[in-house]
């Protein structure tokens, strides 16, 4: 098998175009989007979520970030859902 170079930027552009079809896909009353829940303050997780939120904004996709303290219970998390 020979090595194959993959152009990440081009792949992302193609993926983004295929995902949205050049328009914002949405069901009335239920926007297409991403909800990210961060529990605690892990710096790597914060960077990861920030990049996902930026990608959603660039594509015109609804996004929501919810941050909870590390000590949060499952019940508290479910109340926000």
Q: Enumerate domains of the chain plus CATH numbers.
A: 31-81 (3.40.50.10860)
Judge whether 65 and 36 are in contact, CB under 8 Å: yes
Residue tagged 């552009």 (tokens): 13
DSSP state of 63: E
* pLDDT per residue as tens digits for the range 33-81: 899 999 999 999 999 999 999 999 998 889 999 999 999 999 988 888 6
Judge whether 52 and 63 are in contact, CB under 8 Å: yes
pTM score above 0.85? no
Cα distances (angstroms) measured from residue 47 to each of 57, 59, 62, 71, 72: 15, 19, 19, 21, 21
């Amino acid at each position: 098998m020979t090595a194959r170079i993959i152009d990440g930027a081009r792949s992302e552009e193609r993926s983004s175009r295929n995902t949205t079809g050049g328009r914002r896909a949405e069901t009335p009353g239920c926007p297409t989007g991403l909800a990210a829940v961060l529990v605690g303050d892990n710096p790597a997780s914060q960077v990861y979520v920030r990049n996902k939120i930026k990608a959603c904004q660039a594509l015109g996709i609804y996004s929501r970030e919810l941050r909870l303290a590390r000590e949060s219970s499952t019940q508290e998390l479910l109340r926000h859902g």
